[in-house]
Amino acid sequence: MAKVKKQPRPKALPPKGFRDYFGVDVAERKEMLDAIAAVYHRYGFEGLESSAVETVEALGKFLPDVDRPNEGVFAWQEDEKDWLALRYDLTAPLARVYAQYRNDLPTPYRRFAMGPVWRNEKPGPGRFRQFYQCDADTVGSASMAADAEICAMLADTLETVGIPRGDYIIRVNNRKVLNGILDGLMVDDEKTRSLPRTFKDSLDLPLSDREFVETEAILRTIDKFDKVGADGVFELLTKGRKDQSGAFIEGVGLSEKDASRVIQFMESRGRDNAETLTNLRELMGSSYLDAHEEQGVYHAGIEGLRELQDIADLLAAQGYGPDRIVIDPSVVRGLGYYTGPVYEAELTFEITNEKGRKQQFGSVAGGGRYDDLVKRFTGQSVPATGVSIGVDRLLAALRAKGRVGGKSLGPVVVTVMDRDRMADYQTMVADLRNAGIRTEVYLGNPKNFGNQLKYADKRNSPVAVIEGGDEYARGMVQIKDLILGAKIAENATLEEWKSLPSQYEVPRGDLVAKVREIIALHEAG
């Protein structure tokens, strides 16, 4: 027979930028998601689980921070047919689902969704290409009450999972106000270049369209306010800027006057919401807006201000003060599809970053109104607003605050002293399990008793149960409190082990009661 060529062994690694979650991490994330889902559900939102795979055309191309529009997603072509892709968020699939089922779904449609999304980005430290999102959206309501509700629900959610009031702030802005500012620039400068288009106007345009990219570039630049500050944004809006590595980032090309105006907009937050709204109005030119209002001419800035006022009033009436939810013009959100209110939840407590410096934890959730996403499919405008929680970041925040990640006990381990009596050991296991106690029998090679104890140690087991031939003959079992005895566990012989004060011999009939007693002790302490 011909010698068969051996194939090389596959590498035991996930693809770059992907990772696995084990045991406690899986359980803690689930617990947090369950708590979030409970809040969403109480608010009347219904679960939706859409397929992870969509057609590329249905997803559209709205990712921020992606230079070429065909990047950012994992996509492949079906045999000379459609291009398919993994969803990059939960909003684009919602728009597709709503367009598809709009005659069957209630209007407004409140839905929540949670699950992984995928981004085909260059992986890096702490940057993963699969991560969880947890979204809530209201489709089919143009009312600012929908936006206010999402913000209030976000506050409730953060408090429910364990972020105390005072440790977070939800900041609200409105894209229309920004559009009003940009419009103002035009009027002042009497430029001949056409107005930067809003996303709304550009939906039917190819993405390469210069003007759309320009507005996008402005949005993305001012979204970096938190990172590079006012001066940095100013440089990026005008001539460009060297970043920390020395690389030159090209500027958007606004005049210095225009750029100053944008910076002023972002810094116009006042001592309270009323002052902020006044500042914004003045920045756009009060008399200029007054003239619009007198003549009944539409101006995005006027509508944006009115919407922010509505949201502020609704939230104030419901008791969500500016200590929890506040109007702040520095919030923009990078995504291109927002058309009205945008909001962002930031955690305000400090953590120590990897370089040992203290810094604010930062953003854990964001969202806004996107009135034109469904229109892509149907041609009819369908108002919609919603929020997305960055699940991994929120979980990291809860860990930083010590709200999750307490030591969790592993299962009781019934050791195997006599391989032929496996059925007896399994019966003990069954007795303990039936009493609701998480238990397992040791299933490795039982020859080396030390390995069994090491195993129990690795599982963080609170209790090991031992029954040798001697105990069996006397109808007894040894019950070892592993938490008390943990420190000397690694090198103990069976005999030393048995002599420890943390080990008890009880009649077989008392097994369940004694184990329960030990576990209760440790759970309390």
Q: How far is the CB of 130 from a second copy (least distance, A)?
A: 5
When binding is defined by CB under 8 A, the residue of 3, 68, 78, 287 that contacts a second copy is: 78
Q: Interface residues for a second copy in 146-165 (CB under 8 A)? A: 146, 148-149
Rounded to an integer, what distance in angstroms lies between the CA atom of residue 444 and that of residue 451? 9
**Residue 89 contacts by C-beta under 8 Å, 6 or more apart in sequence?**
117, 133, 135, 388
Q: Which two tokens stand for residue 46?
A: 């219904």
Q: How far is the CB of 84 from a second copy (least distance, A)?
A: 5
Q: Which residue has the tokens 């009880």?
A: 506
Q: Interface residues for a second copy in 397-416 (CB under 8 A)? A: 410-411, 413
Q: How far is the CB of 244 from a second copy (least distance, A)?
A: 27
* Helices 273-284 + 286-295 axis angle, to 10: 80
Does 20 help bind a second copy (rule: CB under 8 A)?
yes
Rounded to an integer, what distance in angstroms lies between the CA atom of residue 369 and that of residue 43? 18
When binding is defined by CB under 8 A, the residue of 355, 407, 447, 458 that contacts a second copy is: 458
Q: Which is nearer to a second copy, 286 or 318 (CB)?
A: 318
When binding is defined by CB under 8 A, the residue of 297, 443, 473, 524 that contacts a second copy is: 443
Q: What is the DSSP string of 204-242?
A: TS-TT-HHHHHHHHHHHHHTTHHHHHHHHHHHHHTTEEE
Rounded to an integer, what distance in angstroms lies between the CA atom of residue 119 and that of residue 278? 40
Q: How far is the CB of 77 from a second copy (least distance, A)?
A: 8
| DSSP code, position 120 | B
Options 2-10, 167-175, 361-369, 390-398: segment touching a second copy (CB under 8 A): 2-10
Does 4 help bind a second copy (rule: CB under 8 A)?
yes
Number of residues that bind a second copy (CB under 8 A): 103
Does 72 help bind a second copy (rule: CB under 8 A)?
no
Print the binding letters for residues 495-524 with a second copy: x by CB under 8 A, - otherwise.
Answer: ------------------------------
Does 381 help bind a second copy (rule: CB under 8 A)?
no
Rounded to an integer, what distance in angstroms lies between the CA atom of residue 158 and that of residue 155? 5
Q: Which is nearer to a second copy, 61 or 224 (CB)?
A: 61
The candidate with the shortest Cα–Cα distance to 116, out of 180, 20, 24, is 20
When binding is defined by CB under 8 A, the residue of 3, 9, 407, 447 that contacts a second copy is: 9
Cα–chain center distance at 114 = 9
CB 180 within 8 A of CB 302: yes
CB 136 within 8 A of CB 109: no
Q: Interface residues for a second copy in 120-139 (CB under 8 A)? A: 129-130, 138
Strand partners, 365: 345, 389
Q: How far is the CB of 222 from a second copy (least distance, A)?
A: 27
Q: Which is nearer to a second copy, 110 or 281 (CB)?
A: 110
Rounded to an integer, what distance in angstroms lies between the CA atom of residue 392 and that of residue 28? 11
Q: Which two tokens stand for residue 377?
A: 């499919």
Does 14 help bind a second copy (rule: CB under 8 A)?
yes
When binding is defined by CB under 8 A, the residue of 32, 54, 133, 289 that contacts a second copy is: 54
Q: Which is nearer to a second copy, 7 or 244 (CB)?
A: 7
Rounded to an integer, what distance in angstroms lies between the CA atom of residue 45 and that of residue 157? 13
Q: Which is nearer to a second copy, 348 or 445 (CB)?
A: 445
When binding is defined by CB under 8 A, the residue of 3, 12, 126, 407 that contacts a second copy is: 12
Q: Which is nearer to a second copy, 62 or 234 (CB)?
A: 62
Q: Which is nearer to a second copy, 320 or 497 (CB)?
A: 320
Rounded to an integer, what distance in angstroms lies between the CA atom of residue 286 and that of residue 351? 42
User: Element (H or E) spanning 506, and its range?
Assistant: strand 503-507
Q: Interface residues for a second copy in 272-331 (CB under 8 A)? A: 313-314, 317-319
Strand partners, 461: none
Does 422 help bind a second copy (rule: CB under 8 A)?
yes
Is residue 478 classed as helix, strand or coil in its secondary structure? Answer: strand
Options 293-301, 353-361, 421-429, 499-507: segment touching a second copy (CB under 8 A): 421-429
The candidate with the shortest Cα–Cα distance to 131, out of 329, 414, 388, 363, is 388
Does 50 help bind a second copy (rule: CB under 8 A)?
yes
Q: Which is nearer to a second copy, 203 or 351 (CB)?
A: 203
Q: How far is the CB of 194 from a second copy (least distance, A)?
A: 7
CB 384 within 8 A of CB 369: yes
Helices (H), 114-268: 144-161, 175-189, 199-202, 210-222, 225-237, 256-266
Does 43 help bind a second copy (rule: CB under 8 A)?
yes
Q: Which two tokens stand for residue 411?
A: 């299962």
Q: Which residue has the tokens 């001592």?
A: 271
Options 166-174, 334-342, 362-370, 428-436: segment touching a second copy (CB under 8 A): 428-436
Q: How far is the CB of 108 from a second copy (least distance, A)?
A: 5
Q: How far is the CB of 246 from a second copy (least distance, A)?
A: 26
Q: How far is the CB of 88 from a second copy (least distance, A)?
A: 13
Strands (E), 315-455: 325-327, 341-352, 358-369, 384-390, 412-414, 439-441
CB 134 within 8 A of CB 389: yes
Q: Interface residues for a second copy in 190-249 (CB under 8 A)? A: 194, 204-206, 209
Q: Which is nearer to a second copy, 63 or 178 (CB)?
A: 63
Does 108 help bind a second copy (rule: CB under 8 A)?
yes
Does 18 help bind a second copy (rule: CB under 8 A)?
yes
